[in-house]
């Protein structure tokens, strides 16, 4: 399973033309599809959030429970993303630069979290660290709380965002090859120097790409966090969980106000993503053999 596919630059093929009517029909169908399923939902979030005016909108963020939800979301992302980033760097170096038996199995295992349902992703940690989990008695003996507390939320978030950075880096590093690294070694560079000065700069756009996707998912994760969180107001609620609570209390404006934060994040992510894709495509390829003097 691949991570988000880097979308190709749309370019028009004027050569083989579809009949005029056909084209109009398809474009209309496609637009209606997108309008219905993307544009209207996004518009709805802001419409509902501002339904009672701008004042009420901002009031939603003064609420202390709301603020701790925002704080917790930021904290969880601040832990999960760097962890998966470091993992991604290690995994991509091992996988892209070396040959070893079992490599494709390893890559498949790294992809696993993509395939697992969010609820199951949370459940597996409850089964390990919950009060009835394998380590349950041990943890309560030490007075350590993982499930229904912040560590559990962090763990579940790390799980669901596990492959993002690694997959992007593996793809890009495999495409870039290892000759420059070998050249660096021949010039006397150590492993660290080679990694910092050669590999990392080459891969930087792919790295950023993976990081922003990882971050978007980390902040927006709902199902997995819902299972491990315990929904304790003001303590173990991230923004998505808080949205759910507000919604179930029929406090729609506040719910959509919180949701609008996440929507803005999503839109920002899309903008940065498009920019990075453009940069990744614009980067000069180095493995081209020059064909003229």
Partner 1 sequence: MSWRALQLWYQRKILPGFGLTLGITLAYLSLIVLIPLSATFLRASALGWDGIVHALTSPRVVASFELSFSISLYAALINALLGTILGWVLIRYDFPGRRIVDAIVDLPFALPTAVAGIALTAIYAGNGLIGQPLAALTGLKVAYTPLGILIALIFVGLPFVVRTVQPVLEDLEVEYEEAAASLGASRLQTIRRVVLPQILPAILTGFALAFARAVGEYGSVVFISGNMPMKTEIVPLLIITKLEQYDYAGATAIAALMLVISFVLLFGINALQRWSHHIRVAT
Partner 2 sequence: MADARRSHCNGIAQLRMKIEVRDLIRKFGAYTALNRVSLDADDGELVALLGPSGSGKTTLLRIIAGLDFPDEGNVYFDGVDSTRLKIQKRHVGFVFQSYALFRHMSVFKNVAFGLEVMSGKERLDRAEVRNRVTELLQLVQLPGFENRLPHQLSGGQRQRVALARALAIKPRILLLDEPFGALDAKVRKELRNWIKDLQHQLKITTFFVTHDQEEALEMADRVAVMNNARIEQIGTPSEIQDQPATAFVEEFIHTKQTF
Can you point out the beta strands (E) in the chain? Answer: none
Binding site for partner 2 (CB under 8 A): 179-180, 182-190, 193, 197-198, 201-202, 283-287, 289-293
Q: What is the distance between the terminal CA atoms of the chain, rounded to a whole angstrom?
A: 43
Task: Single out the residue of 242, 245, 248 nearest to residue 66, CA to CA.
Answer: 242
Instruction: Tell me which of partner 2, partner 1, none is bound by residue 250, counting a contact when its beta carbon lies within the kind-specific cut-off of 5 to 8 angstroms.
Output: none
Q: Tell me: does residue 91 bind partner 1 (CB under 8 A).
A: yes
- Minimum distance from CB of 223 to partner 2 (Å)? 40
DSSP for residue 82: H
Q: Tell me: does residue 178 bind partner 1 (CB under 8 A).
A: yes
Binding to partner 1 (CB under 8 A) within 3-22 occurs at: 4-5, 7-8, 10-16, 18-19, 22
Distance CA 90, CA 170 (A): 10
Q: Which is nearer to partner 1, 118 or 206 (CB)?
A: 118
Element spanning 10, H or E: none
Q: Tell me: does residue 50 bind partner 1 (CB under 8 A).
A: no
- Minimum distance from CB of 292 to partner 2 (Å)? 6
Question: How many C-beta neighbours within 10 Å does residue 36 have?
Answer: 10
Q: Tell me: does residue 78 bind partner 1 (CB under 8 A).
A: no
Could you tell me the two tokens for 221? 């994760």
In sequence order, which residues have a C-beta less than 8 Å from that of residue 165 and are 6 or more positions away?
84, 85, 87, 88, 89, 207, 210, 211, 214
- Minimum distance from CB of 293 to partner 2 (Å)? 3
Instruction: Tell me which of partner 2, partner 1, none is bound by residue 174, counting a contact when its beta carbon lies within the kind-specific cut-off of 5 to 8 angstroms.
Output: none
Q: Tell me: does residue 180 bind partner 1 (CB under 8 A).
A: no
């Amino acid at each position: 399973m691949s991570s988000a596919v880097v979308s190709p630059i749309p370019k028009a093929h004027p050569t083989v033309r579809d009949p005029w009517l056909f084209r109009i029909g398809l474009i209309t169908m496609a637009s209606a599809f997108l309008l219905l399923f993307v544009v209207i939902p996004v518009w709805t979030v802001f419409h509902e959030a501002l339904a009672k005016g701008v004042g009420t909108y901002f009031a939603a963020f003064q609420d202390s429970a709301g603020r701790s939800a925002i704080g917790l979301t930021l904290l969880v992302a601040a832990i999960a993303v760097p962890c998966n980033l470091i993992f991604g760097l290690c995994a991509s170096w091992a996988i892209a630069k070396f040959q070893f038996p079992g490599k494709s199995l390893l890559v498949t295992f790294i992809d696993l979290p993509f395939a697992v349902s969010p609820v199951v992703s949370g459940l597996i940690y409850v089964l390990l660290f919950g009060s009835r989990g394998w380590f349950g008695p041990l943890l309560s003996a030490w007075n350590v709380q993982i499930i229904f507390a912040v560590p559990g939320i962090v763990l579940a978030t790390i799980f669901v965002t596990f492959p993002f950075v690694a997959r992007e880096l593996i793809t890009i590093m495999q495409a870039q090859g290892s000759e420059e690294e070998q050249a660096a070694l021949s010039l006397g560079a150590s492993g660290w120097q080679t990694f910092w000065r050669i590999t990392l700069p080459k891969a930087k756009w792919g790295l950023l790409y993976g990081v922003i996707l990882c971050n978007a998912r980390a902040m927006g994760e709902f199902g997995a966090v819902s299972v491990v969180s315990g929904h304790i107001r003001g303590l173990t609620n991230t923004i998505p969980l808080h949205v759910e609570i507000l919604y179930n209390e029929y406090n729609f404006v506040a719910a959509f106000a919180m949701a609008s934060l996440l929507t803005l994040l999503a839109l920002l992510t899309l903008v940065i993503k498009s920019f990075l894709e453009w940069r990744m495509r614009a980067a000069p390829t180095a493995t081209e053999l020059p064909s003229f003097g």
